[in-house]
Structures are given as C-alpha cells and as structure tokens.
Amino acid sequence: MNIAIVCYPTFGGSGVLATELGIALADMGHQVHFVTYKQPVKLALLSHHVHFHEVAVPDYPLFRYQPYELALSSKLVNVVKDHNIEILHVHYAIPHAYAGYMAQQMLLEEGIKIPMVTTLHGTDITLVGNHPFYKPAVTFSINNSDAVTSVSESLKQDTLTHFTIKRPIEVIPNFIDLSKMGQQDGPCERNAMAEPHERIITHVSNLRPVKRLLDVVEIFDQILEQCPARLVIVGDGPDKDLAKALIEQKGIKSKVQFMGNSDEVHKILCLTDLFLLPSEIESFGLAALEAMACRVPVISTDVGGLPEVNKHGFSGYLSEVGDVSSMAKYALSILKDEHTLNQFKDNARAQAQNFAIELIVPQYEQLYAKTIAESALVK
C-alpha cells in the first residue's frame, strides 16, 4: 500500500507512535510517506520505503498567524497525486483530520477519491479539542473521517461523552517494539548515575502541567526519607523551573538529575528501578509502556487509559491524582527488597508484551485495507 502519515514530528507520544508505525509498515513492504513540518525526531534512518515531505509555511506579512492547515492540505494534495497514495492516516483530529478533509475535497474535484483514517491520541479530545473554540472543528473532523481509532477504551468513551459522534470508533492501543526497548546491547551504565545502594527513579515527559512534575518531586522526596535514591527527569517543558525551585527548597538538588530531551530513553530506562507518571490526564501513557518494556515497574495515577496499561499490584500501582503519599507508599513497597523489585520488573515486561508491535500494527494494516475497500464501494 502507498500510505501517507500526518503527525506532529516532535517528542510527544503521538508523534513517536506515528513514526514507529510508519517504520513498521515500511518494514512490512509498504511505501510510507510522512507529511509533516519537519522530519519526525525518531525517523533517523530513511529507507527506500520511507519518504518525508516537508510542509513549508511561507512567512507572509499579511497573515498574523501562518496558515499551517492550508499549507498541509495543499501538500497532501500534491503528495497523493505524485505518489499514488491510497490512504491518509492522520494522527490528531485537529488540525490534521481537518486539513486531511480539505485535501480529500480538493482531490475529489479532480476525480481522485482518497480515504482517511484518523487516530485520536487524547490531547485533541480531552484537553484542547474539548474547548468551545475547537469543538465544532473536532466533531466535524471525526465525523467526516472514513475510519476513526482511539488509543484506549477510555479515550473512546471520553470522545463519545464530549462530542456528538456519528461514526464507530475502533480501539487500537499503542504498541511497543520489544526487540528495541528492553534489549540493551551492553550492560546498563548504572554506576554513572547512582551509588550501588541507591535506587534509580525516572520520570519522562514533556514537563507540561498535565504531567504534574511537582508531584514527581514530592513523591521522590517522600521515598528519600526511607530509601536512598536518585531521581532522573528526562524531557523539557514549561514546569522545569518550578520543579527546580521545589527541589532546591527541599534541599535534594544533589539527588536529582535533569537530562533534557533525549532519543536514548531506552538507555536511561535500562538502569531505572521505578518509573513515576502522576499525570492529571493520560489517554494511554506511552511513556509508562516504554518503561515497562524495559522491565521498569510504574507508579501512576488511575486516570484515562492508564489502568488499561499499568496493572495495579502487578506491573506497578495506581493512585488518585495528587495523592503523593499513596504513590510514595506504593513506590517504597516495590523498592523495599530485591526479591519484590525483581518480581515487579518481570511483571512489567510481561504486561508490556500485551502491546507488542507484532500484535498491534497488523490491526492498522487490516483497517487500511477495509477502509480502502469500503471507500471504493461508495460512489
């Protein structure tokens, strides 16, 4: 199949997932065309099955805001025509499905019918998309997609609750390549990060308020009272300075390391004992799945899709949003001895296997084939 993928090319979970999906589809022999404003961060190696088309938005003084959706839909029209694209797969209802719909309409004028699959990742539904500014555009974009998927059952239910949806939504969960994550070539460089008697606790996110980075610091501080440990924070974002101030105030600066954005998260997870994800909302929690794939148990909140990913008492524990004492208590119960920790590490990896790439990517492949066939039937 010739497939065009539209996503955010940044460090966010949706961009990472879309990129991994495209790479997997290309490995299966499909021609995959990424249409984004810059090369996706994880798309380091371009193979002859993977193509990248940059959406450039010319700076024109008349526009106060540069019209990205306009540029994207025009680019899609050209890519579809030049490369005989058979299906568009857009990640995010807005702006991507919105732009995809416009491209479909422009192509129809030329007698070209191209179906579109839209994958909902969460921010487009639970955070931004539910704002009255965007709600009509999100509803329209979902209802006018040829097929719609969501990354968790919870996100599907949220979408049906907040929007008037006239299409079926298929749940296709996020996935992980277990041959890449959790399969370190050499030994983990644990000694570079901590003393042998210290546990290593990690948090990975874009440090937005929704990730509750201050709770990460509070949980870690309570862990430190009973267990020697280090905290590693990977990622960059608006709450970094607030967290730094709290760390300073608590006098634990020497125990915390900020790593910034990294495309070597697997190397950091390799030496990690416990992962913290105390988010306010999380449609899935790809970061938690990545941790579990690397044999790292997860302490998370119980919101959104997290209970579908992290199994309470097995791969980690779930607590209510903001209940840092409960999360610290659960963390300590996992870290208390080697036997318990190793049991949770094994469980974490076992739980991640439910989301193995081999199980999930064929579901997208089948959905594409079905959507193309159905679209051909409709005049």
Neighbours of 301 (CB within 10 A): 25
DSSP-based three-state secondary structure for 331: helix
Query: Which of 100/285 has CB closer to ligand GMT?
Result: 285
To ligand GMT, the closest distance from the beta carbon of 8 in angstroms equals: 6
Applying CB under 6 A, among 144, 272, 283, 347 the residue interacting with ligand GMT is 283
Contact between 148 and ligand GMT per CB under 6 A: no
Q: Tokens 């004992």 — which residue?
A: 273
- The residue range among 12-20, 81-89, 313-321, 330-338 that interacts with ligand GMT, by the rule CB under 6 A, is 12-20
Q: State which H helix or E strand residue 268 sits in.
A: helix 265-270
Which tokens in the block code for residue 250?
């608590």
* Residue 157: CB minimum distance to ligand GMT, A: 13
Hey, what long-range contacts does 126-135 have (CB within 8 A, 24 or more apart)?
A: 126/155, 126/158, 126/162, 126/281, 126/283, 126/304, 127/210, 127/281, 128/94, 129/93, 129/94, 129/162, 129/163, 130/162, 134/94, 135/162, 135/163
Is residue 282 near ligand GMT by the rule CB under 6 A? yes
Ramachandran sector of residue 313 (left: φ over 0; alpha: ψ -120 to 50; beta: rest): left
Near ligand GMT by CB under 6 A: residue from 284, 330, 355, 368: 284
How many other C-beta atoms can be found within 10 angstroms of the C-beta atom of residue 353?
A: 13
Find where tokens 């579109």 sit. 116
Question: Of 122, 129, 278, 316, which one interacts with ligand GMT (CB under 6 A)?
Answer: 122
Residue 150 within binding range of ligand GMT, rule CB under 6 A: no
- What secondary structure letter does DSSP report for 336? S
Options 5, 117, 210, 367; binder of ligand GMT; rule CB under 6 A: 210
| Binding status of residue 14 toward ligand GMT by CB under 6 A | yes
203 binds ligand GMT (CB under 6 A): no
The contact mask relative to ligand GMT for 53-92 (x = CB under 6 A, - = no) is: ----------------------------------------
Would you count residue 100 as binding ligand GMT (CB under 6 A)?
Answer: no
Binding mask 172-191 for ligand GMT (x = CB under 6 A): --x-----------------
Select 206 or 257, whichever has its Cβ closest to ligand GMT: 206
Tell me the CA distances in angstroms from 224 to 201, 202, 218, 315, one per residue in order.
Answer: 11, 14, 10, 22
Grouping H, G, I as helix, E, B as strand and the rest as coil, residue 142 is: helix
Q: Is 219 in the site for ligand GMT (CB under 6 A)?
A: no
Using only C-alpha atoms, the chain has a radius of gyration, in whole angstroms, of 22
Classified as helix, coil or strand, 151 is coil
Contact between 281 and ligand GMT by CB under 6 A: the answer reads yes
Cα separation, 56 vs 76, whole angstroms: 12
118 binds ligand GMT (CB under 6 A): no
Sole binder of ligand GMT in the list 9, 40, 115, 285 (CB under 6 A): 285
Residue 360, interface with ligand GMT (CB under 6 A)?
no
Q: Pairing mode, if any, of strands 229-234 and 199-204?
A: parallel
Q: Is 151 in the site for ligand GMT (CB under 6 A)?
A: yes
Per-residue string for binding with ligand GMT, 233-262, x by CB under 6 A? Answer: ------------------------------
Q: Does 130 bind ligand GMT (CB under 6 A)?
A: no
Task: For residue 137, give both structure tokens.
Answer: 């555009």
For residue 104, give every residue at least 6 positions away whose Cβ sits within 8 Å of its Cβ, in sequence order, or none. 88, 113, 114, 116
Quick one: which segment of 156-164, 188-196, 204-212, 224-232 binds ligand GMT (CB under 6 A)? 204-212
- State yes or no: residue 275 binds ligand GMT (CB under 6 A): no
Q: Using CB under 6 A, list all residues that contact ligand GMT.
A: 12-15, 17, 121-123, 126, 151, 174, 205-206, 210, 281-286
